[in-house]
Amino acid sequence: MAAFSGRMGEIESSLRGHLWAVVASVIIFGVVANGGKIRSTQLMNAHFDSQRFPVAAVTFLEQSDVREPVLGPDYWGGYLIYRIYPQTLVAVDDRHDLYGEEFLKSYLKLVNVEPGWEDLLTNYNIHRVLLPTGSAPANILAETAEWKMIYEDQVGVIFVRSSASF
């Protein structure tokens, strides 16, 4: 009987460690299910910084019901996919290995405004571009007759090819 009692004591001791994990999981699930709040205190606030991401510009795209691909900088690609995919395709993101060497070379020419910068836009039939305000590609598109600015704020600027509809 003493051996049985000893084994039961060991089992109870080992379960105490698991109990804390279960309690923590239940609490975390409750906070998540309640929108990140415990009572009126906001513990979790998942949002994108509108000073770093083109939040308002993408809202404009959503309201414009754009269906064709939008080209933006690769570092905004994940955000664009999160916000507008699958209604709108995103031309590039930071998963560079998916695009191939030729595409990436063309993309870098555009980003750096090197000779042939417009090849990416022409060869891949891009009609909408979302770029950081004041960036070199945004400045060159603003001076190009083929492109028209349809939106601008402190973070992002949207251009549409003149032949495309808004």
Give per-residue pLDDT as tens, 107-119. 999 999 999 999 9
- 3-state DSSP assignment of residue 29: helix
pLDDT at 163 (0 to 100)? 78
Dihedral sign for Cα atoms in the order 135, 136, 140, 143: positive
Average pLDDT of the segment spanning 113-130? 96
Q: Say what the pTM is.
A: 0.74
d(CA 140, CA 143): 5
pLDDT given at position 164: 62
> What is the predicted pLDDT for the residue at 18?
65
As a whole number, mean pLDDT of residues 135-162 equals 97
